Homo-oligomer: A and B are copies of this chain.
Amino acid sequence: MESHILLVQCPDEPGLIYRITRILYEQGCNIIRNQEFVDAESAHFFMRTEFTGGHGNGDLIERLRTDLPAGAEIRIAPVQDRRLVVLVTKEPHCLGELLLLNEFRELSASVLAVIGNHETLGRLAERFDIPFHFISHEGLSRPDHEARIAEVAAAYEPDYLVLAKYMRVLGPDFLKQFRHRIINIHHSFLPAFVGAQPYRQAFERGVKIIGATAHFVTEVLDEGPIIAQSVIPVDHTYNPKRMAQAGRDIEKLVLARAVKLVCQDRVVLVGNRTVVFE
């Protein structure tokens, strides 16, 4: 039986769970999993409900809209794969992980295409029969290059873009077009080591743990809402190169995990933070 995900967020007030679950019950929906969260700082209520059954989601949304406080955001979507376009430069490990999970239908998403500003990873995409678009930045202004990428990506009607070690900063026009729909992997435990060469920075600071951070991309570099993070221990025997090697495993896992969480409608934005219903 088809499942749906209901996501609700609204100002908190007493009786919200009761009102929402009553409507679901009266509409004939069967709740499989229900998760709530109240953010005390903003006095906002969040709920994610996975349910089966019901007599049409149009009615459901309408009844919820009537019953919930003004300003409530309500979203219902079937549990089904989301559409992804992946952007890459030269490093293969994150793309490889996504392509393997895609091949075996474990991503809660379909990788429709890969776009690279270098040709390097074309062969890898081809091995999995995924279209690869080589769009070099050479000889193009940044806006022109990004416009070209945006055009190619948009043609696939993606739900999300995934930056799988795409090593260029994206400009405001591009970000506006895919607002809150770009997932990036940063190779450090943000907010430590923003910017370039985080492993070099980590080495020089002499840290004993390194990390990786998957986040939504916003206008301010490396400052977007964090979706998932992971770390591994290192010691004095790790130079920046060996840190980078060790970091690859967590980078690819954290990125894949973030993509799955987002594509399963488990991630909700609260300002610059995320609520993640796992």
Interfacial residues, chain A to chain B (CB-CB below 8 A): 14-15, 17-18, 21-22, 24-25, 30-41, 92-93, 96-97, 100, 103-104, 106, 124, 127-128, 189-193, 204-209, 211, 225-231, 235-237, 239, 245, 248-249, 253, 270, 272-276, 278
Contact = CB atoms under 8 A, between A and B. Distances in A.
B236 A275 contact: yes
Contact of A237 (B22, B37, B204): B37
Contacts of A40: 239
Contacts of A249: 253
Given A191-B192, A253-B249, A18 B14 contact: no
A209 to B, nearest CB: 5
Contacts of A31: 14, 17
Contacts of A204: 272-273
A276 B92 contact: no
A208 to B, nearest CB: 4
A226 B205 contact: yes
Count of chain copies:
4
Contact of A32 (B33, B38, B230): B38
B239 A41 contact: yes
B236 A209 contact: no
- Chain A's interface: helix, strand, loop or mixed, by majority? mixed
Contact of A207 (B209, B226, B253): B226
Given A14-B30, A41-B239, A208 B192 contact: no
Contacts of A36: 33-34
A235 B276 contact: yes
Most buried by B among A24, A32, A273: A273
A64 B87 CA distance: 54
B236 A206 contact: no
B193 A191 contact: yes
Contacts of A92: 100, 103-104
Contacts of A207: 190-191, 226, 229
Contacts of A278: 235
A193 B194 CA distance: 13
Contacts of A274: 206, 236
A101 B102 CA distance: 17
Contacts of A245: 106
Contacts of A225: 206
Given A17-B34, A30-B14, A41-B239, A229 B208 contact: yes
A236 B22 contact: no
